[in-house]
């Protein structure tokens, strides 16, 4: 039976005083963005946010994951992945998050190796995350294309005027990037409703674009934003340099001429884009 989030919170807030008075213990689990500030005030429950996984818990997580997924080969696979991760400092950020560590476990289980280069690694991880959260390939493709559009928009700004990429923006900007991607007008009733619906889907379901306090949003990590922005560049043209701010690119190799211009902020996106352009030029990247 489906119960809306709002009805659930209302019912729980009404029932809690009596439950607690009777000595019951109540545990409510949620994603960080599942409860709004007014929900927290109504429920008045003690909050305990999940911390990132320290190394010992990462070890336990991996061993138990394979013990459940493939008992006969659990030890072999767990030891193999742990040994590989010990040599991959570039994966330290990913392995601290249970969702992304799960994706690494799945990838290792499929071939007992993880991609070495930035592009293939983030392509595989983001694909695995979306696979778990959207039921059909079409739904996953739609979510990914929208995430790419948002990521590039956060890099460039609404009019490609941004010199330094933003790692966090307000949801109104997200809506405008989604409206531009769908070629609709966000100032009309239908355009605003469509953009808001797509934005809520990404924030609630994608696992990669997350709400922040104050009506803002950000990707789980800037590396995902950089990767998705680079793939979007590939989809819309073979010359990403033409799409980034010309006044920034003019100083790309002469930063001393304009110390205000922070072209280094685009470095990762350029690296990823080159990998996408020259190493992975397949039909799936065609506009």
Structure confidence at residue 114 (pLDDT) = 85
Q: What is the pLDDT at residue 193? A: 92
State residue 80's pLDDT score: 95
pTM (predicted TM-score): 0.70
> Closest Cα partner for 127 from 149, 104, 109, 93?
104
- At residue 283, the pLDDT reads 42
In the prediction, which pLDDT does 63 show?
Answer: 96
Residue 103 has pLDDT above 60, yes or no: yes
pLDDT at 158: 84
Q: Residues near 165 by Cβ (< 8 Å), separated by ≥ 6?
A: 154, 155, 156, 222, 225, 226, 229, 265, 266, 269
The domain segmentation of the chain, as residue ranges, is 5-43, 55-114, 137-285
Least confident of 45-54, 96-105, 180-189: 45-54
Assigned token pair, 125: 């991880």
How far is the C-alpha of 190 from the C-alpha of 113, rounded, in Å?
Answer: 46
Is pLDDT at 252 greater than 60 in this prediction?
no
The pLDDT score that the predictor gives to residue 243 is 53
Q: Is the model's pLDDT at 64 over the cut of 50?
A: yes
């Amino acid at each position: 039976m489906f119960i809306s989030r709002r009805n659930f919170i209302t019912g729980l807030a009404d029932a809690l005083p009596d439950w607690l008075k009777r000595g019951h213990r109540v545990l409510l689990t949620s994603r960080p963005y599942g409860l709004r500030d007014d929900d927290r005030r109504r429920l008045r429950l003690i909050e305990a946010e999940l911390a990132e996984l320290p190394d010992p818990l990462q070890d336990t997580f991996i061993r138990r994951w394979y013990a459940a997924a493939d008992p006969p080969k659990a030890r072999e696979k767990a030891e193999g992945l742990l040994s590989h991760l010990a040599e991959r400092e570039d994966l330290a950020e990913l392995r601290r998050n249970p969702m992304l560590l799960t994706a690494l476990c799945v990838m290792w289980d499929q071939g007992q190796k993880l991609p070495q280069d930035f592009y293939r690694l983030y392509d595989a991880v983001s694909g695995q995350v979306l696979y778990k959260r959207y039921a059909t390939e079409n739904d996953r493709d739609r979510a990914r294309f929208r995430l790419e559009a948002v990521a590039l928009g956060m890099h460039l700004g609404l009019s490609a005027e941004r010199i330094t990429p933003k790692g966090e923006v307000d949801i109104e900007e997200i809506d405008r990037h989604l409206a531009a991607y769908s070629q609709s007008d966000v100032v009309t009733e239908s355009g605003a409703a469509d953009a808001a619906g797509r934005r809520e889907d990404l924030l609630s379901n994608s696992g990669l674009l997350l709400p922040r306090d104050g009506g803002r949003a950000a990707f789980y990590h800037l590396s995902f934003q950089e990767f998705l922005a680079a793939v979007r560049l590939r989809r819309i043209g073979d010359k990403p340099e033409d799409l980034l701010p010309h006044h920034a690119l003019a100083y790309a190799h002469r930063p001393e001429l304009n110390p205000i211009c922070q072209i280094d902020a685009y470095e990762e996106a350029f690296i990823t884009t080159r990998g996408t352009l020259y190493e992975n030029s397949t039909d799936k990247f065609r506009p």
